[in-house]
Amino acid sequence: MPQLTDDCFAHGGGMMSIEAALDLFRARVGAVDGTERVPLGLADGRVLAEAIRAAVALPAFANSAVDGYAVRHADIAPEGMTRLAVVDRLQAGDRALRPVGPGEAARIFTGAPMPPGADTVYMQEDTRAEGGAVLLPPGLKRGANSRPAGEEIEAGSPALPAGRRLRPQDLALAAGVGQAEVVVRRRLRVAVFSTGNEVVEPGAARGPAQVFDTNRLMLAGLLGRLGVQVTDLGILRDEPGPLAEALARAGAGHDLVLTTGGVSTGEADHVKDAVEAVGRLDVWRFAIKPGRPLALGTLGGAAFMGLPGNPVAVYVTFAYVVRGLVAALSGETWAPPVPVPVVSGFSYAKRTGRTEFVRVHLDARTDGAPVARKFEREGAGIISSLTEAAGLVVLGEEVAAVAPGEPLGFVPFAALG
């Protein structure tokens, strides 16, 4: 179970920023206990529990970056062509045994070891073979096209830090420095459920005032992409007793319990009362739009988070708040993605003091940053805005209005999960 206390989510009240929430998670939420050693082939998406140091240098030996000729730079004439005798031929995997002496060159291919004495490689396109010799032009710098041993990482140096959620490129680096296995945190166990008498499973018979459940599938998919073990608890009806019992069971077997809707102060919002009956709850109001109300608490040894009910608000709060909690529980070092520059193609007014996320399309431009155009409909319940837009423009708390032509920060949906 994660390291939680009853007051781990308590705060001073009022509106809270995303940055303040992430700071609180890092300070008060401990990572789950338990680690395991797994082969690299099974480590994608897992969180490193122990840093990796290079068992060998990368590259482990000096080698050629191109196909061409390995030479001694001192032999190259400052003007005119240089003629060198070709005395060896080296392919990737060969051992470089014969030194290159004065007036000599070795035919070499990409990845082959540099022969003793050689310090520079000419690309074959820049040379002319002539019998058993090669003609080389002047002007190449010493060391050109040669990769020295340890150029990327020296043996014994840090390669990957603890807390990194491993990506395919991280696995490639770990393999390159001689790592066959890594020590990772155990997978986070997260339970997801929906509540409400108005919600039914997709494909089921739907009453005239009922809707198909969408948020649960979205949350499970977002969590699954983080390598989390997801338990789908289905739809729980608005019955306070059974709801409290289900929450207690979920808290006993998971590290985090997630739900959407039902946590406001309305008379029909039973999740809040059910959580308080078997655990502790704090209701936060975030200075963001969409997605202001969230409930955070504990259910036994598990964390609990109740998200808003509208799908766009669920997506935004997951990407910017739940993602930070998952990181803290997983022992992962994480920060929200940095927006990339775009140019506004719309007008927009907002309140200061809160961050707003505007769904936009992008129009490519050849003369500068792309133009962001606001999605036609703004409602937080419009699921198609998450499938048809390109991503989110992030408007900080200090922004009051946006005019066409102004610089903005854009985060693509691909960077958010």
Mean pLDDT on 390-397: 96
Task: Name the residue with higher pLDDT: 26 or 48.
Answer: 48
Q: How confident is the model at residue 260 (pLDDT cuts 50, 70, 90)?
A: confident
pLDDT band at 308 (very low <50, low <70, confident <90, very high): confident
Angle at 322 between CA 397 and CA 185, to 5 degrees: 135
Architecture in CATH for domain 63-147: Beta Complex (2.170)
What pLDDT band is residue 108 in, cutting at 50, 70 and 90? very high
Q: Which residue has the higher pLDDT, 242 or 179?
A: 179
Return the pLDDT at 269: 62
**N- to C-terminal Cα separation, the chain:** 25
Q: Look over the chain and give the mean of its residue pLDDT values, rounded to a whole number.
A: 92
When pLDDT is cut at 50, 70 and 90, the band that residue 9 belongs to is confident
What's the pLDDT score for residue 417? 82
CATH number, domain 340-415:
2.40.340.10
CA distance 332 to 312: 25
Choose the CATH number for 15-34+186-330 among 3.40.50.720, 3.40.980.10, 3.40.50.300, 3.40.50.620: 3.40.980.10
Whether residue 264 is predicted with pLDDT greater than 60 in this model: the reply is no
Which among 168, 206, 166 is positioned nearest to 183, based on CA atoms? 166
Nearest to 58 by CA among 144, 169, 156: 156
Examine the pLDDT at 228 and tell me if it is beyond 50. Answer: yes
Q: What is the pLDDT of residue 155?
A: 96
Q: Domain locations in the chain?
A: 15-34+186-330, 63-147, 340-415
- In this prediction, residue 7 carries a pLDDT of 75
The owner of tokens 């077997």 is 253
Question: Per residue in 163-210, pLDDT tens?
Answer: 999 999 999 999 999 999 999 999 999 999 988 888 888 899 999 998
Q: Is residue 266 scored above 70 in pLDDT?
A: no
Average pLDDT over residues 363-379: 88
Least confident of 38-42, 197-201, 413-417: 197-201
15, β-bridge pairs: 285
Residues ≥6 apart with Cβ < 8 Å to 224: 230
pLDDT in the model for residue 196 = 82
Instruction: Dig out the tokens for 222 from the structure.
Output: 């977002």
- 6 has a pLDDT exceeding 70: no
C-alpha closest to that of 254 among 220, 222, 284, 231? 231
Beta-strand relationship, 189-195 and 229-236: parallel
What does the alpha-carbon distance between residue 210 and residue 308 come to, in Å, rounded to a whole number?
A: 18
pLDDT of residue 13: 67
pLDDT at residue 65 is higher than 80:
yes
Do the first three CATH levels of 15-34+186-330 and 63-147 match, i.e. the same topology?
no
DSSP summary character for residue 164: P
pLDDT band at 283 (very low <50, low <70, confident <90, very high): confident
Range with the lowest mean pLDDT among 153-162, 246-255, 277-286, 296-305? 277-286
For residue 300, give the nearest of 277, 330, 284 by alpha carbon.
Answer: 277
Residue at token pair 């400052």: 78
pLDDT, tens digit, for every residue of 328-346? Answer: 999 999 999 999 999 999 9
Give this prediction's pTM.
0.88
Q: What is the token pair recorded at 219?
A: 């949350």
Structure tokens of 248?
A: 């207690």
φ/ψ of 174, rounded to 5, equals: -60, -40
Q: What is the mean pLDDT of residues 319-325?
A: 95
Top-ranked range on mean pLDDT: pick from 44-58, 262-276, 375-389: 44-58
Residue 5's H or E segment, with its range, is none
pLDDT at 268 over 60: no
pLDDT higher than threshold 70 for residue 262? no
Q: What per-residue confidence (pLDDT) applies to 16?
A: 87
pLDDT for 185: 97
Residue recorded with tokens 């997709």:
202
pLDDT band at 293 (very low <50, low <70, confident <90, very high): confident
- DSSP letters for 216-256: HHHHHHHHHTTT-EEEEEEEE-S-HHHHHHHHHHHHHH-SE
pLDDT exceeds cutoff 90 at 267: no
